[in-house]
Structure 1
Protein backbone atom coordinates (compact mmCIF):
# COMPACT_ATOMS: atom_id res chain seq x y z
CA UNK A 1 0.00 0.00 0.00
CA UNK A 2 1.29 3.48 -0.85
CA UNK A 3 2.16 5.54 2.19
CA UNK A 4 -0.21 8.46 2.70
CA UNK A 5 0.44 11.67 4.57
CA UNK A 6 -2.20 14.19 5.60
CA UNK A 7 -1.90 17.83 6.62
CA UNK A 8 -5.59 18.14 7.46
CA UNK A 9 -4.87 19.00 11.12
CA UNK A 10 -2.48 21.79 10.09
CA UNK A 11 -2.65 25.36 8.92
CA UNK A 12 0.08 26.63 6.62
CA UNK A 13 1.37 30.20 6.91
CA UNK A 14 3.52 30.94 3.89
CA UNK A 15 5.27 33.68 1.98
CA UNK A 16 3.12 34.73 -0.97
CA UNK A 17 6.04 34.08 -3.30
CA UNK A 18 5.23 30.39 -2.89
CA UNK A 19 1.58 30.70 -3.98
CA UNK A 20 2.06 28.92 -7.35
CA UNK A 21 3.70 25.82 -5.87
CA UNK A 22 1.64 25.49 -2.68
CA UNK A 23 -1.67 26.07 -4.45
CA UNK A 24 -0.64 23.42 -7.00
CA UNK A 25 0.04 20.94 -4.17
CA UNK A 26 -3.36 21.77 -2.69
CA UNK A 27 -5.18 21.44 -6.02
CA UNK A 28 -3.54 18.08 -6.73
CA UNK A 29 -4.45 16.69 -3.31
CA UNK A 30 -1.07 16.50 -1.58
CA UNK A 31 -1.57 19.47 0.73
CA UNK A 32 -4.96 19.10 2.43
CA UNK A 33 -4.51 22.08 4.74
CA UNK A 34 -5.70 25.65 4.98
CA UNK A 35 -3.04 28.00 3.56
CA UNK A 36 -2.72 31.62 4.68
CA UNK A 37 -0.27 33.85 2.84
CA UNK A 38 1.71 36.95 3.63
CA UNK A 39 2.41 39.31 0.73
CA UNK A 40 5.20 38.34 -1.70
CA UNK A 41 8.49 40.21 -1.52
CA UNK A 42 8.52 41.12 2.16
CA UNK A 43 12.19 40.14 2.51
CA UNK A 44 12.84 43.73 1.46
CA UNK A 45 10.64 45.16 4.23
CA UNK A 46 11.42 43.23 7.44
CA UNK A 47 9.21 45.41 9.65
CA UNK A 48 6.18 44.70 7.47
CA UNK A 49 7.13 41.01 7.28
CA UNK A 50 6.99 40.85 11.08
CA UNK A 51 3.56 42.46 11.18
CA UNK A 52 2.05 40.27 8.48
CA UNK A 53 3.65 37.02 9.66
CA UNK A 54 2.50 37.47 13.24
CA UNK A 55 -0.98 38.52 12.11
CA UNK A 56 -1.33 35.46 9.89
CA UNK A 57 -0.01 33.17 12.62
CA UNK A 58 -2.67 34.49 14.99
CA UNK A 59 -5.29 33.88 12.29
CA UNK A 60 -3.99 30.34 11.75
CA UNK A 61 -4.29 29.59 15.47
CA UNK A 62 -8.01 30.24 15.20
CA UNK A 63 -8.37 27.25 12.89
CA UNK A 64 -5.65 24.75 13.84
CA UNK A 65 -3.48 23.66 16.74
CA UNK A 66 -0.63 22.73 14.41
CA UNK A 67 1.00 25.26 12.10
CA UNK A 68 3.80 25.07 9.54
CA UNK A 69 5.51 28.33 8.60
CA UNK A 70 6.79 28.16 5.03
CA UNK A 71 9.65 30.63 5.21
CA UNK A 72 13.40 30.30 5.00
CA UNK A 73 15.62 31.03 7.94
CA UNK A 74 18.69 32.68 6.47
CA UNK A 75 17.66 35.10 3.74
CA UNK A 76 13.90 35.66 4.00
CA UNK A 77 14.19 37.97 7.01
CA UNK A 78 17.25 40.08 7.74
CA UNK A 79 17.02 42.71 10.47
CA UNK A 80 19.85 45.17 9.82
CA UNK A 81 19.15 47.00 13.09
CA UNK A 82 19.30 43.90 15.27
CA UNK A 83 21.31 40.99 13.88
CA UNK A 84 20.19 38.76 16.77
CA UNK A 85 16.54 39.10 15.78
CA UNK A 86 15.68 36.30 13.36
CA UNK A 87 12.53 35.02 11.75
CA UNK A 88 12.38 32.37 14.48
CA UNK A 89 12.40 35.16 17.08
CA UNK A 90 9.42 36.71 15.31
CA UNK A 91 7.60 33.36 15.32
CA UNK A 92 8.48 32.67 18.97
CA UNK A 93 6.74 35.86 20.05
CA UNK A 94 3.35 34.39 19.14
CA UNK A 95 3.96 30.88 20.45
CA UNK A 96 1.78 29.66 23.28
CA UNK A 97 1.14 26.41 25.09
CA UNK A 98 -1.08 23.96 23.30
CA UNK A 99 0.11 24.87 19.79
CA UNK A 100 2.70 23.23 17.56
CA UNK A 101 4.47 25.69 15.29
CA UNK A 102 7.35 24.62 13.04
CA UNK A 103 9.21 26.47 10.30
CA UNK A 104 10.49 24.80 7.15
CA UNK A 105 14.18 23.99 7.59
CA UNK A 106 15.50 25.80 4.51
CA UNK A 107 17.49 28.93 3.74
CA UNK A 108 14.99 30.55 1.35
CA UNK A 109 12.37 29.78 -1.30
CA UNK A 110 15.03 28.56 -3.75
CA UNK A 111 16.13 25.98 -1.20
CA UNK A 112 12.54 24.73 -0.97
CA UNK A 113 12.61 23.69 -4.62
CA UNK A 114 16.24 22.60 -5.15
CA UNK A 115 19.02 22.15 -2.64
CA UNK A 116 22.45 23.72 -3.02
CA UNK A 117 23.93 20.73 -4.82
CA UNK A 118 21.14 20.66 -7.41
CA UNK A 119 21.44 24.40 -7.97
CA UNK A 120 25.21 24.02 -8.45
CA UNK A 121 24.58 21.31 -11.04
CA UNK A 122 22.11 23.54 -12.87
CA UNK A 123 24.56 26.44 -12.82
CA UNK A 124 27.27 24.21 -14.31
CA UNK A 125 30.10 26.41 -13.09
CA UNK A 126 28.45 29.67 -14.15
CA UNK A 127 27.36 32.51 -11.90
CA UNK A 128 23.58 32.19 -12.18
CA UNK A 129 20.69 34.19 -10.73
CA UNK A 130 18.06 31.72 -9.55
CA UNK A 131 14.40 32.50 -9.02
CA UNK A 132 11.07 30.72 -8.56
CA UNK A 133 7.78 31.22 -10.45
CA UNK A 134 6.59 33.68 -7.81
CA UNK A 135 9.53 36.00 -8.44
CA UNK A 136 8.30 36.49 -12.01
CA UNK A 137 4.56 36.40 -11.37
CA UNK A 138 4.77 38.88 -8.48
CA UNK A 139 7.79 40.82 -9.72
CA UNK A 140 6.10 44.18 -9.09
CA UNK A 141 6.00 43.31 -5.38
CA UNK A 142 9.25 41.37 -5.16
CA UNK A 143 11.17 44.23 -6.79
CA UNK A 144 9.06 47.05 -5.38
CA UNK A 145 11.03 50.28 -5.37
CA UNK A 146 13.64 49.02 -7.81
CA UNK A 147 14.48 51.06 -10.89
CA UNK A 148 16.81 50.37 -13.81
CA UNK A 149 19.77 51.61 -11.76
CA UNK A 150 19.06 49.01 -9.06
CA UNK A 151 18.79 46.33 -11.73
CA UNK A 152 22.09 47.41 -13.29
CA UNK A 153 23.79 47.18 -9.89
CA UNK A 154 22.58 43.66 -9.17
CA UNK A 155 21.87 41.52 -12.23
CA UNK A 156 24.79 41.92 -14.67
CA UNK A 157 27.13 40.09 -12.27
CA UNK A 158 25.20 36.91 -13.12
CA UNK A 159 27.11 36.15 -16.29
CA UNK A 160 25.40 32.76 -16.56
CA UNK A 161 21.98 34.43 -16.85
CA UNK A 162 18.84 33.62 -14.91
CA UNK A 163 17.30 30.23 -14.21
CA UNK A 164 13.79 29.76 -12.88
CA UNK A 165 13.42 26.65 -10.73
CA UNK A 166 10.11 25.44 -12.12
CA UNK A 167 8.45 22.37 -10.59
CA UNK A 168 4.97 22.95 -12.05
CA UNK A 169 5.47 23.92 -15.70
CA UNK A 170 4.72 27.54 -14.86
CA UNK A 171 7.14 29.21 -17.26
CA UNK A 172 5.87 27.65 -20.48
CA UNK A 173 2.23 28.25 -19.54
CA UNK A 174 2.93 31.84 -18.47
CA UNK A 175 4.79 32.52 -21.71
CA UNK A 176 1.70 31.66 -23.76
CA UNK A 177 -0.01 34.89 -22.70
CA UNK A 178 2.82 36.93 -21.17
CA UNK A 179 5.85 36.45 -23.39
CA UNK A 180 6.25 40.22 -23.75
CA UNK A 181 6.43 40.56 -19.96
CA UNK A 182 9.14 37.90 -19.76
CA UNK A 183 11.13 39.65 -22.47
CA UNK A 184 10.64 43.00 -20.74
CA UNK A 185 11.87 41.55 -17.45
CA UNK A 186 14.97 40.09 -19.13
CA UNK A 187 15.63 43.43 -20.80
CA UNK A 188 15.23 45.27 -17.48
CA UNK A 189 17.52 42.82 -15.68
CA UNK A 190 19.95 42.67 -18.63
CA UNK A 191 20.15 38.87 -18.38
CA UNK A 192 18.29 36.10 -20.23
CA UNK A 193 15.81 34.05 -18.21
CA UNK A 194 15.08 30.38 -18.81
CA UNK A 195 13.29 27.70 -16.82
CA UNK A 196 14.49 24.31 -15.63
CA UNK A 197 12.14 21.61 -14.41
CA UNK A 198 13.04 20.49 -10.89
CA UNK A 199 10.04 18.44 -9.74
CA UNK A 200 8.12 18.74 -6.47
CA UNK A 201 9.79 16.07 -4.37
CA UNK A 202 12.10 18.53 -2.62
CA UNK A 203 9.19 20.77 -1.58
CA UNK A 204 7.11 17.82 -0.43
CA UNK A 205 9.92 16.50 1.74
CA UNK A 206 10.53 19.97 3.21
CA UNK A 207 6.86 20.16 4.21
CA UNK A 208 6.80 16.61 5.57
CA UNK A 209 9.92 17.30 7.64
CA UNK A 210 8.08 20.17 9.35
CA UNK A 211 5.33 17.88 10.62
CA UNK A 212 5.22 17.08 14.31
CA UNK A 213 7.30 14.10 15.41
CA UNK A 214 4.10 12.20 16.16
CA UNK A 215 2.79 12.70 12.64
CA UNK A 216 6.13 11.85 11.02
CA UNK A 217 6.31 8.67 13.07
CA UNK A 218 2.75 7.75 12.08
CA UNK A 219 3.62 8.27 8.42
CA UNK A 220 6.72 6.10 8.70
CA UNK A 221 4.64 3.19 9.97
CA UNK A 222 2.00 3.41 7.25
CA UNK A 223 2.59 0.84 4.51
Structure 2
Protein backbone atom coordinates (compact mmCIF):
# COMPACT_ATOMS: atom_id res chain seq x y z
CA UNK A 1 0.00 0.00 0.00
CA UNK A 2 1.39 3.40 -0.97
CA UNK A 3 2.21 5.73 1.88
CA UNK A 4 -0.46 8.36 2.42
CA UNK A 5 0.80 11.92 2.78
CA UNK A 6 -0.47 14.18 5.55
CA UNK A 7 1.73 17.11 4.50
CA UNK A 8 -1.26 19.28 3.57
CA UNK A 9 -3.35 18.20 6.57
CA UNK A 10 -3.46 19.60 10.10
CA UNK A 11 -4.45 17.14 12.81
CA UNK A 12 -6.63 18.06 15.78
CA UNK A 13 -6.78 15.45 18.52
CA UNK A 14 -7.71 14.76 22.10
CA UNK A 15 -4.52 15.15 24.10
CA UNK A 16 -4.90 11.63 25.43
CA UNK A 17 -3.62 10.39 22.05
CA UNK A 18 -0.72 12.85 21.83
CA UNK A 19 1.72 10.05 22.71
CA UNK A 20 0.72 7.89 19.74
CA UNK A 21 0.46 10.77 17.28
CA UNK A 22 3.84 12.21 18.22
CA UNK A 23 5.28 8.70 17.92
CA UNK A 24 3.86 8.33 14.41
CA UNK A 25 5.26 11.72 13.44
CA UNK A 26 8.68 10.84 14.86
CA UNK A 27 8.82 7.60 12.88
CA UNK A 28 7.81 9.39 9.68
CA UNK A 29 4.32 8.03 9.13
CA UNK A 30 2.72 11.41 9.84
CA UNK A 31 4.49 13.99 7.69
CA UNK A 32 2.34 16.87 8.91
CA UNK A 33 3.90 19.87 10.59
CA UNK A 34 0.69 20.70 12.43
CA UNK A 35 -0.61 18.79 15.45
CA UNK A 36 -3.12 20.47 17.76
CA UNK A 37 -4.32 18.93 21.02
CA UNK A 38 -7.19 19.55 23.40
CA UNK A 39 -6.76 18.90 27.12
CA UNK A 40 -6.90 15.16 27.91
CA UNK A 41 -10.04 13.90 29.60
CA UNK A 42 -12.56 16.45 28.36
CA UNK A 43 -15.21 13.74 27.87
CA UNK A 44 -15.99 14.62 31.51
CA UNK A 45 -16.67 18.26 30.50
CA UNK A 46 -18.25 18.24 27.05
CA UNK A 47 -18.91 21.98 26.92
CA UNK A 48 -15.22 22.71 27.41
CA UNK A 49 -14.48 19.88 24.96
CA UNK A 50 -16.57 21.55 22.26
CA UNK A 51 -15.04 24.96 22.97
CA UNK A 52 -11.50 23.64 22.74
CA UNK A 53 -12.25 21.47 19.72
CA UNK A 54 -13.69 24.39 17.74
CA UNK A 55 -10.75 26.56 18.77
CA UNK A 56 -8.18 23.97 17.65
CA UNK A 57 -9.99 23.38 14.35
CA UNK A 58 -10.02 27.12 13.67
CA UNK A 59 -6.29 27.31 14.41
CA UNK A 60 -5.65 24.24 12.26
CA UNK A 61 -7.49 25.82 9.31
CA UNK A 62 -5.05 28.73 9.48
CA UNK A 63 -2.17 26.30 8.91
CA UNK A 64 -3.59 23.85 6.35
CA UNK A 65 -6.42 23.54 3.88
CA UNK A 66 -7.54 20.21 5.31
CA UNK A 67 -8.15 19.14 8.92
CA UNK A 68 -8.34 15.61 10.34
CA UNK A 69 -9.99 15.33 13.75
CA UNK A 70 -8.86 12.44 15.96
CA UNK A 71 -11.79 12.11 18.33
CA UNK A 72 -14.18 9.24 18.91
CA UNK A 73 -17.82 9.57 18.05
CA UNK A 74 -20.17 7.64 20.27
CA UNK A 75 -18.41 7.84 23.64
CA UNK A 76 -16.18 10.94 23.60
CA UNK A 77 -19.01 13.47 23.34
CA UNK A 78 -22.30 12.80 25.12
CA UNK A 79 -24.35 15.99 25.48
CA UNK A 80 -26.99 15.53 28.16
CA UNK A 81 -28.39 19.02 27.53
CA UNK A 82 -28.74 18.42 23.78
CA UNK A 83 -28.93 14.63 23.32
CA UNK A 84 -29.33 14.94 19.55
CA UNK A 85 -26.10 16.93 19.21
CA UNK A 86 -23.29 14.53 18.33
CA UNK A 87 -19.59 14.66 17.55
CA UNK A 88 -20.37 13.88 13.91
CA UNK A 89 -22.74 16.85 13.76
CA UNK A 90 -20.06 19.15 15.15
CA UNK A 91 -17.57 17.95 12.53
CA UNK A 92 -20.11 18.29 9.71
CA UNK A 93 -20.62 21.93 10.69
CA UNK A 94 -16.92 22.64 10.09
CA UNK A 95 -17.10 22.21 6.31
CA UNK A 96 -16.15 19.62 3.70
CA UNK A 97 -12.39 19.95 4.29
CA UNK A 98 -12.71 18.67 7.87
CA UNK A 99 -12.98 14.93 8.49
CA UNK A 100 -13.02 12.74 11.60
CA UNK A 101 -11.41 9.38 12.19
CA UNK A 102 -13.95 6.52 12.02
CA UNK A 103 -13.86 5.14 15.57
CA UNK A 104 -15.97 5.27 18.72
CA UNK A 105 -13.19 6.21 21.19
CA UNK A 106 -9.41 6.18 21.54
CA UNK A 107 -9.24 2.48 22.48
CA UNK A 108 -11.21 1.64 19.33
CA UNK A 109 -8.64 3.55 17.27
CA UNK A 110 -5.89 1.26 18.56
CA UNK A 111 -7.77 -2.07 18.60
CA UNK A 112 -11.11 -2.96 17.02
CA UNK A 113 -13.96 -4.39 19.06
CA UNK A 114 -13.14 -7.89 17.77
CA UNK A 115 -9.47 -7.41 18.65
CA UNK A 116 -10.38 -6.21 22.14
CA UNK A 117 -12.60 -9.24 22.63
CA UNK A 118 -9.65 -11.43 21.69
CA UNK A 119 -7.34 -9.59 24.08
CA UNK A 120 -9.91 -9.90 26.90
CA UNK A 121 -10.12 -13.62 26.26
CA UNK A 122 -6.32 -13.84 26.31
CA UNK A 123 -5.55 -11.90 29.49
CA UNK A 124 -8.84 -11.84 31.41
CA UNK A 125 -10.59 -15.09 30.53
CA UNK A 126 -13.33 -13.10 28.84
CA UNK A 127 -14.15 -11.17 32.02
CA UNK A 128 -15.23 -7.52 31.70
CA UNK A 129 -12.26 -5.23 31.08
CA UNK A 130 -11.69 -1.49 31.61
CA UNK A 131 -9.77 -0.39 28.52
CA UNK A 132 -7.12 2.32 28.48
CA UNK A 133 -4.34 3.68 26.29
CA UNK A 134 -1.00 5.03 27.61
CA UNK A 135 -2.47 8.53 27.76
CA UNK A 136 -4.84 7.33 30.47
CA UNK A 137 -1.74 6.51 32.50
CA UNK A 138 0.35 9.61 31.76
CA UNK A 139 -2.57 12.05 32.04
CA UNK A 140 -4.34 10.22 34.85
CA UNK A 141 -5.15 13.32 36.89
CA UNK A 142 -6.73 15.05 33.90
CA UNK A 143 -8.60 11.99 32.59
CA UNK A 144 -10.02 11.25 36.05
CA UNK A 145 -10.31 14.87 37.19
CA UNK A 146 -12.72 15.12 40.10
CA UNK A 147 -12.78 11.38 40.77
CA UNK A 148 -12.29 10.35 44.39
CA UNK A 149 -11.81 6.87 45.81
CA UNK A 150 -15.56 6.47 46.26
CA UNK A 151 -16.28 7.14 42.59
CA UNK A 152 -13.44 4.81 41.66
CA UNK A 153 -14.97 2.07 43.82
CA UNK A 154 -18.32 2.55 42.06
CA UNK A 155 -16.86 2.12 38.58
CA UNK A 156 -13.71 0.01 38.38
CA UNK A 157 -14.19 -3.16 40.49
CA UNK A 158 -17.09 -4.35 38.32
CA UNK A 159 -14.43 -4.82 35.61
CA UNK A 160 -13.24 -8.11 37.04
CA UNK A 161 -10.85 -8.68 34.16
CA UNK A 162 -8.76 -5.67 35.21
CA UNK A 163 -7.65 -2.54 33.35
CA UNK A 164 -5.89 -3.37 30.09
CA UNK A 165 -3.60 -0.71 28.60
CA UNK A 166 -3.39 -1.02 24.80
CA UNK A 167 0.23 0.03 24.39
CA UNK A 168 1.42 0.59 20.85
CA UNK A 169 4.45 2.70 21.76
CA UNK A 170 6.25 0.74 24.52
CA UNK A 171 5.24 3.33 27.11
CA UNK A 172 4.32 0.96 29.91
CA UNK A 173 7.69 -0.81 30.13
CA UNK A 174 9.43 2.50 30.78
CA UNK A 175 6.69 3.76 33.10
CA UNK A 176 6.73 0.67 35.31
CA UNK A 177 10.53 0.66 35.46
CA UNK A 178 10.82 4.35 36.32
CA UNK A 179 7.67 4.81 38.43
CA UNK A 180 6.88 1.44 40.09
CA UNK A 181 5.31 3.05 43.17
CA UNK A 182 3.02 5.25 41.04
CA UNK A 183 2.00 2.21 39.00
CA UNK A 184 1.09 0.23 42.13
CA UNK A 185 -0.73 3.19 43.66
CA UNK A 186 -2.75 3.70 40.47
CA UNK A 187 -3.78 0.04 40.46
CA UNK A 188 -4.67 0.22 44.16
CA UNK A 189 -6.79 3.33 43.56
CA UNK A 190 -8.67 1.57 40.77
CA UNK A 191 -9.08 -1.54 42.89
CA UNK A 192 -8.20 -3.79 39.92
CA UNK A 193 -4.92 -4.89 38.32
CA UNK A 194 -3.51 -2.76 35.49
CA UNK A 195 -2.36 -5.04 32.67
CA UNK A 196 -0.08 -3.64 29.93
CA UNK A 197 -0.79 -5.24 26.55
CA UNK A 198 1.58 -4.57 23.64
CA UNK A 199 -0.16 -3.93 20.33
CA UNK A 200 0.82 -2.46 16.98
CA UNK A 201 -0.38 0.89 15.69
CA UNK A 202 -1.39 -0.65 12.36
CA UNK A 203 -5.12 -0.10 12.87
CA UNK A 204 -4.53 3.52 13.93
CA UNK A 205 -2.45 4.11 10.80
CA UNK A 206 -5.12 2.61 8.56
CA UNK A 207 -7.90 4.72 10.11
CA UNK A 208 -5.84 7.89 9.79
CA UNK A 209 -4.91 7.10 6.19
CA UNK A 210 -8.54 6.39 5.26
CA UNK A 211 -9.63 9.88 6.28
CA UNK A 212 -6.58 11.52 4.71
CA UNK A 213 -7.44 9.83 1.42
CA UNK A 214 -11.04 11.06 1.67
CA UNK A 215 -9.83 14.60 2.28
CA UNK A 216 -7.55 14.37 -0.76
CA UNK A 217 -10.36 13.05 -2.95
State the TM-score, normalized to the length of structure 1.
0.92
- Partner of 2:98 in structure 1? 101
The runs of 5 or more residues in structure 1 that have no matched partner are 217-223
SS in 2 for 1:61: helix
From 95, 99, 115, give the equivalent of 2:112: 115
Alignment of 1:76-87 (within 5 A): 76-87=76-87
Contact 2:99 2:215 in 1 (8 A): no
The Cα of 1:88 is off from its aligned counterpart by: 2.1
Bigger mean CA deviation after superposition, 112-121 or 86-95: 86-95
The Cα of 1:214 is off from its aligned counterpart by: 6.7
SS in 2 for 1:36: strand
- Aligned-partner Cα distance in 2 for 1:101–1:94: 6
The runs of 5 or more residues in structure 2 that have no matched partner are none
- Partner of 1:128 in structure 2? 129
Contact 1:15 1:40 in 2 (8 A): yes
SS in 2 for 1:159: coil
Contact 1:100 1:212 in 2 (8 A): no
- Partner of 2:57 in structure 1? 57
- Aligned-partner Cα distance in 2 for 1:140–1:214: 35
The verdict on how the C-alpha distance between 1:214 and 1:26 changes in structure 2, with shifts beyond 3 A counting, is closer
- Aligned-partner Cα distance in 2 for 1:149–1:213: 45
SS in 1 for 2:62: coil
- Partner of 1:221 in structure 2? none
Contact 2:134 2:165 in 1 (8 A): yes
What is the CA deviation profile of residues 190-213 of structure 1, one whole-angstrom value per residue up to 9, with x for unaligned ones? 000011111010000010111143
Contact 2:97 2:215 in 1 (8 A): no
Contact 1:10 1:67 in 2 (8 A): yes
- Partner of 2:151 in structure 1? 150
Alignment of 1:39-50 (within 5 A): 39-50=39-50
- Partner of 2:37 in structure 1? 37
- Aligned-partner Cα distance in 1 for 2:86–2:201: 28
- Partner of 2:89 in structure 1? 89
Contact 2:66 2:215 in 1 (8 A): no
Contact 1:66 1:100 in 2 (8 A): yes
State the TM-score, normalized to the length of structure 2.
0.94
- Aligned-partner Cα distance in 1 for 2:159–2:27: 35
- Aligned-partner Cα distance in 2 for 1:157–1:59: 41
Aligned length: 212
- Aligned-partner Cα distance in 1 for 2:61–2:49: 18
The Cα of 1:90 is off from its aligned counterpart by: 2.3
Contact 2:91 2:99 in 1 (8 A): no
- Aligned-partner Cα distance in 1 for 2:189–2:215: 48
